[in-house]
Amino acid sequence: MTSHMLKILIALPLLTLSFQASGEFLEWCIADEQTLDEELQRALDWACGKGGANCSKIQVNHPCYFPNTLRDHASYAFNNYYQRFKHKGASCYFNSAAITTDLDPSHGSCKFEFLP
């Protein structure tokens, strides 16, 4: 078996985890680890303001407040915006502050939405 074939065999189970039973690709939008805090803050402010994301779950005493970091809060807001508006043409860009992932970023009581 060639190394190329081996890589494919290893990747196949991982790819199948990213599909629902309907065959739809699962995708979330999160903050890019390489983005500077100033850029993240601007993008977060836009997403929760003019962008129309529902950012109530990242407020104090709500399920996604912890961990209380700019990056975690931005990830939640970016995903909320993306899931709500992706079918209307919205992207997961945020001036290069965000990226898509096929790994569910939910943690503990904080559930990141996925809308088909």
Most distant CA pair in the chain: distance in Å?
54
The whole model's pTM is what? 0.81
pLDDT (average), residues 100-114? 97
What separation in angstroms does the CA of 23 have from each of 13, 17, 18, 109? 14, 10, 9, 27
Q: Which pLDDT band, with edges at 50, 70 and 90, does 6 fall under?
A: very low
Strand duo 28-31 + 98-101: pairing = antiparallel
Q: Which residue reads 């807001």 in tokens? A: 77
Q: Assess whether pLDDT exceeds 90 at residue 41.
A: yes
Identify the pLDDT of residue 25. Answer: 83
Say yes or no to pLDDT of 18 above 60. Answer: no
Look over the chain and give the mean of its residue pLDDT values, rounded to a whole number.
87
**Three-state DSSP state, 76:** helix
27 vs 16 pLDDT, higher one: 27
Mean per-residue pLDDT for 95-110? 97
Q: Are 63 and 110 in contact (CB under 8 A)?
A: yes
Summarised one tens digit per residue, pLDDT across range 73-94 is 999 999 999 999 999 999 999 9
Beta bridge partners of 100: 29
